Amino acid sequence: MKAIRQSRKLRNVRYDVRGPILVEAERLEAQGHKILKLNIGNPAPFGFEAPESIVADMVHHLPQAQGYSDSRGIYSARTAVANYYQSKGLTEVGVDDVYIGNGVSELISLVLQAFVDEGNEILIPAPDYPLWTGAVTLAGGTPVHYLSDEQNDWAPDLADVESKITENTHGLVIINPNNPTGAVYSEQVVKGLIDIARRHDLVVFSDEIYEKILFDDAVHHHSATHAGDDVLCLTFSGLSKAYRVCGYRAGWVTVTGPRDRATDFLEGLTLLANMRMCANVPAQHAIQTALGGYQSINELIGPGGRYYEQAMLADRLLNEIPGVSSVRPRGALYCFPRMDPEVYPIEDDQGFVIDLLRSKKILLTHGTGFNWPRPDHFRLVTLPGVDVLEEAIGRVGDFLAERRSA
């Protein structure tokens, strides 16, 4: 009998954050090993809990959340999102410009399925959150990666962005604050990216899920603010990271710009939203409370707060390892350190991370898993407590010391 194979559509789709390395970690756990998991930005396992008001409001609405909602989301949630962007100066945003989804991940897939045709090229940063590359590929498009400049705080290289544009380029992805680098783009950089989209008539897809996780004097600039009324901009955000409710799967995408030119595309997006019926209804009731209530995230991102102190500690400890350099994160939940190829001549960074896992029981993600072109980086999640981070990065340092002396 013939083998039953996966669809050819998956041939070039990768998601290494939950790939072969995680499979190996699970195998080791089954043997009784305790693994320190620093591979996924999931706050709950590290002791971060949702604000009580959000949980209470969702529980309160459970009796009214048993049926399907409008495929775009319940009215109160969409209104809350629209009001949020209005408060940021996007005064033209209305309730009908908002789609609620099962997290940003689902909405990325829906939007790209509605937008991308076979052979369309979409510009995506390198390194990137790999779902963007995978979703473009699955939609039949071609991901084209533009470089971010590590020497310039991981800001996108605007000249490289423009050099990658061809007659087949249709969209530009912006991930700000950035996963995996922790970069927060300056207003000049955001305006530069939008100006490129304007000159080349590109649709902008702006992933802003970490917009509230900012350190020191970092300021987040919404892409849509600079896109104005002549660049179609789809802004993705949600509750997962800032409100510590990844499992609720409560995200949204907001459409701004020349909607009159995008009527056909938006009809397609609505069709796909209808086909999945609706997003998780109980979690939608958390959105209004989250956006309108006390912003407890502010306690975490300043000096003394866990998000802040852990990110700064991780950055310092990584930079103390000989041959390792890390650009200080300005936001998000990650460090993306570089291993000097002269000190660590690594050719297979996935193999390196698996060796580290087997030897030191530390689970990280390799840099090429984020579509970085060279095997000289890895991503480390900064969510564990100080003691755990010190232990984990100490083990990484020990492993690298063994490689230096080998």
Q: What is the CATH number of the domain that holds 364?
A: 3.90.1150.10
Identify whether residues 266 and 374 lie together within a single domain.
no
Q: For residue 184, is it within any domain?
A: yes
Identify whether residues 318 and 279 lie together within a single domain.
no
The CA-atom distances, in angstroms, between 165 and each of 104, 134, 137, 202, 241 are 26, 20, 17, 10, 32
Q: If 0-12 CB within 10 Å is exposed, 13-18 middle and 19+ buried, where does residue 385 land?
A: middle
List the chain pLDDT tens, one digit each, 406 residues: 888 777 777 677 666 656 688 888 889 989 999 988 888 889 998 999 888 889 998 889 988 888 999 999 999 999 999 999 999 999 999 999 999 999 999 999 999 999 999 989 999 999 999 999 999 999 999 999 999 999 999 999 999 999 999 999 999 999 999 999 999 999 999 999 999 999 999 999 999 999 999 999 999 999 999 999 999 999 999 999 999 999 989 999 999 999 999 999 999 999 999 999 999 999 999 999 999 988 999 999 999 999 999 999 999 999 999 999 999 999 999 999 999 999 999 999 999 999 999 999 999 999 999 999 999 999 999 999 999 999 999 999 999 999 887 6
Q: For residue 230, is it within any domain?
A: yes
Choose the final residue of a domain: 292, 321, 354: 292
Identify whether residues 397 and 270 lie together within a single domain.
no
Whether omega before 127 lies within 30 degrees of 0, making that bond cis, reads: yes
Identify whether residues 26 and 120 lie together within a single domain.
no
Q: For residue 3, is it within any domain?
A: no
Helix ranges (DSSP H) in 118-219:
130-138, 158-163, 187-199
**Residues 107 and 99: beta-carbon distance below 8 Å:** yes
Identify whether residues 195 and 333 lie together within a single domain.
no
Identify whether residues 372 and 223 lie together within a single domain.
no
Tell me how far apart the alpha carbons of residues 257 and 262 are, in angstroms, rounded to a whole number.
9
Helix ranges (DSSP H) in 339-384:
349-360
Choose the final residue of a domain: 244, 264, 292: 292
Helix ranges (DSSP H) in 200-305:
223-227, 263-275, 281-292, 298-301
Predicted model pTM: 0.94
Spatial neighbors of 292 by CB under 8 A, at least 6 apart, are 80, 83
Find the domain containing 279 and state its range.
Answer: 52-292
Q: For residue 187, is it within any domain?
A: yes
Identify whether residues 138 and 231 lie together within a single domain.
yes
Domain count, the chain: 2
Identify whether residues 41 and 114 lie together within a single domain.
no
Choose the final residue of a domain: 261, 292, 323: 292
